[in-house]
Structure 1
Amino acid sequence: MTEPPPEAAGALRAEVRALADPSRAGRQRAYLRSGLHHLGVTVPELRGCVTRIRRTLGARPAPEVLALAADLWAAPGPGGGPVYEYRWAAVELLVQYARALDATALGPVEGLLRECRTWALVDPLAVHCAGAVALRDPAAGPVLDRWCADPDFWLRRSALLALLPGIRAGRPDTGRLTRYADALVGEREFFVRKALGWVLRETSVRDPRFVTDWLDRHGSRVAPLTRREAVRRLDTR
């Protein structure tokens, strides 16, 4: 794999560490029920750090981007364990460089998704990285299909959320959405039920008939959580 400039990951980690706030770190860790080490950096702060590094690096090929993300993801904290903000920086880097990636990048992305273990990392990686790739590269479709049937519920959630960029752009993959929604209507996992409702809610903005027809077709099989989310933007029901 192509290596990024050796100083890039270290410089980004140092910039993130300089923003550490121990009191906020404790609140953040409790809110996310996280087992990672937290530094207590805010969203705008971390995003700013990644943006500055990206502007310094300029355009980079996918192998370099993936290598830099892997370096950030694996970097240990003071106690030797993973650091939430380093992993978050890896996700943000992949989001900001999503245009440089194609479906072949979804293999490494899948590896990260399996290790995220929290919606706070899964969701941006699924929507703004995997979803952005899927909107441009049809070869991503079979990867999402496999995720939708994966035993890991974070992968199932990711398959659903990766459909959002197409829905929001007015280019929904209606066939894939139908297959996923039908397959997951009996889902027992909270985070998948919530994601299904979220995707249906976004779909209802442009295609309310699709959502009402799907809800009518499945009736009482639809979990109350999914239905509440799905109808939130509908005028009736």
Structure 2
Amino acid sequence: MHLLTKEIIAIYTANQDPVRAVGMAAYMKNHFSFLGISAKDRRTLIKEQMKASKNLELAELFQVFEALYQQEAREYHYAAIDLLERNIKRIPNDMTAILPYLAFIQEKAWWDSVDALRKPISLWVKHHQKSPLAEVMNWLMASENMWDRRVAITLQLQWKEETDLDWLSKTIVQNEENPTFFIQKGIGWALREYAKTDATWVINFVAAHQAKLTPLAVKEALKHQ
């Protein structure tokens, strides 16, 4: 096990709060165990380790990321994602470099980790001037896994005027008849966010697809219209 991984585990273990952990696990419907460390404390406690991660070789970076994800407590999974985000601009513009991380979308997956992992993946695509967008989208959309599909739908959140509307449309149309709650919620979220940039486009898109979209997706998409 890499020294950085050992340090993070030791720090978190020493700062766990079993009482708070019960409430945190209950909030996540007991899908995962928790140490009881708040998001703020979780990041503050390993600030130096995150800083040191900038000096890791890329192979070491993935080693630490993977080892953290292998731990039982959810805080370690969050730390792994924070680690990736901290170093995402160092990942080269090569699908073989990002694929090992994309594979973790399905690992111990629930909405919290999936939506958190989407962020560094999105940052990586934008950092490389969106040139990997098609490859990433095609990979995600080829998957039958709902979490991969959710990331495809929400990948461009907060891209505003830089949003690629062709890809936004494709990801939604591919999944518009999928009744899965997290898919439909993701569709609504993506459209509602883009409506902040172009409400007319979203209103027209929803009108054109309302027969296939679920009431949940429509409601979420038009929440602020």
CA contact (8 A) 1:61 1:100 kept: no
CA contact (8 A) 1:132 1:165 kept: no
Q: 4+ residue runs of structure 1 moved beyond 6 angstroms?
A: none
2:41 maps to what in 1?
Answer: 45
| 1:104-136 C-alpha deviation (Å, 9 max, x unpaired) | 33311122111132111110101x211111223
2:183 maps to what in 1?
Answer: 192
Relative to 1, partners in 2 of residues 1:208 and 1:165: Cα closer, same or farther, differing over 3 Å?
A: closer
Mapped partners of 1:44, 1:104: distance in 2 = 33
CA contact (8 A) 2:158 2:193 kept: no
1:79 maps to what in 2?
Answer: none
Q: Which amino acid aligns with 2:89?
A: R
Relative to 1, partners in 2 of residues 1:144 and 1:96: Cα closer, same or farther, differing over 3 Å?
A: same
Mapped partners of 2:108, 2:158: distance in 1 = 21
Gaps (5+ residues) in structure 2? none
Q: Does 1:146 align with 2:139?
A: yes
SS of the aligned residue for 2:162 comes to coil
Once the two structures are superposed, the pairs formed by residues 79-90 of structure 1 within 5 Å of their partners are 82-90=72-80
1:122 maps to what in 2?
Answer: 114
Q: 2:214 aligns with which of 223, 229, 236?
A: 223
1:49 Cα shift? Answer: 3.0
1:175 Cα shift? Answer: 1.1
2:9 maps to what in 1?
Answer: 13
1:140 Cα shift? Answer: 4.1
Once the two structures are superposed, the pairs formed by residues 25-174 of structure 1 within 5 Å of their partners are 25-75=21-71, 82-102=72-92, 103-126=95-118, 128-137=119-128, 138-167=131-160, 170-174=161-165
Relative to 1, partners in 2 of residues 1:67 and 1:165: Cα closer, same or farther, differing over 3 Å?
A: farther
1:78 maps to what in 2?
Answer: none
CA contact (8 A) 2:18 2:36 kept: yes
Mapped partners of 2:153, 2:59: distance in 1 = 26
Mapped partners of 1:86, 1:166: distance in 2 = 28
> Alignment identity in percent?
23
Gaps (5+ residues) in structure 1? 76-81
TM-score, structure 1 normalization: 0.86
Mapped partners of 1:64, 1:165: distance in 2 = 31
Relative to 1, partners in 2 of residues 1:201 and 1:111: Cα closer, same or farther, differing over 3 Å?
A: same
